[in-house]
Amino acid sequence: MIKLVKFSLIGGTGLIINLIAAYILKEFLGLWYFLAFLIGVILNWSFNFFANSYITFSGHSKERYAMKYAIFVSVYLAAFTINSGLVYIMTSVFDIYYLISIAMAAVITTLITFSLSKRFVYYDKK
């Protein structure tokens, strides 16, 4: 349970990074909200990977980081299909403000990413 709390706090921080990036890219640089969201997601994922590696799952093997990052991105891509669909539908169909859509979708997919990360990314082969 403590790992889920740490994971969620790190994810919340990553979400703030995503929201700030999306806001700056859309409001100041004029990018389409969905493209701004995608760029924010990349920043979010990179932060989440390294922060979770050192804080939430600090006991896991620190070897083969490039491979673990590739697996992490694969896990997040799986969850991202749900996340991005939710953002698009909430914003474009239901006319929910794009930053609120991003936050709501992140909350919905947190348990999915935690479970998949714990099982496939931050484990030790014994």
Domain-by-domain residue ranges, the chain? 2-120
Q: Residue 25 corresponds to which tokens in the numbers above?
A: 């890219």
The answer to whether the beta carbons of residues 39 and 25 sit under 8 Å apart is: yes
pLDDT band for position 125 (cuts 50, 70, 90):
low
Look-up: residue for tokens 């004029």? 30
pLDDT tens for each residue of 13-34: 999 999 999 999 999 999 999 9
Q: Residue 29 corresponds to which tokens in the numbers above?
A: 């640089």
pLDDT tens for each residue of 109-121: 988 899 998 888 8
What number is the average pLDDT over the span 50-72?
85
Q: Is the pTM of this model over 0.85?
A: no
Q: Between helices 33-51 and 2-23, what is the axis angle to 10°?
A: 150
Residue 126 has a pLDDT of 53
